[in-house]
Amino acid sequence: MALEQKIRIAMIKKGIKSLSELAGRMNNCSPQNLHNKLKRDNFDEKEMREIAEALGADLRIEFVDKETGEVL
């Protein structure tokens, strides 16, 4: 699932109705900038952490072994 879809699902679950509302909860992020980043699926780790904070969530990034499924 694309990151945009995951963010939009999280927004629905948290009752955030628009990208403008999500952007307003973030530091220095305009709705247009957030929209463009979602469409390009282009976020750095700092931005992902800001989105997670705005959603009231923790961010987890994991490496998983392709052969065994083990979290590395």
| pLDDT tens by residue, 9-66 | 999 999 999 999 999 999 889 999 999 999 998 899 999 999 999 999 999 989 999 9
Rounded distance between C-alpha atoms, residue 60 and residue 3, angstroms: 13
Note the Cα 34 to chain centre separation in Å. 10
pLDDT grade for 2, boundaries at 50, 70 and 90: confident
CA neighbours closer than 13 Å in the CB half-sphere of residue 2: 9
Give me the pLDDT at residue 1, please.
72
What letter would DSSP give residue 42? Answer: -
For the chain, domain boundaries: 3-55
Give me the pLDDT at residue 51, please.
96
Terminal alpha carbon distance of the chain? 21
Give me the pLDDT at residue 47, please.
92
Rounded distance between C-alpha atoms, residue 40 and residue 3, angstroms: 10
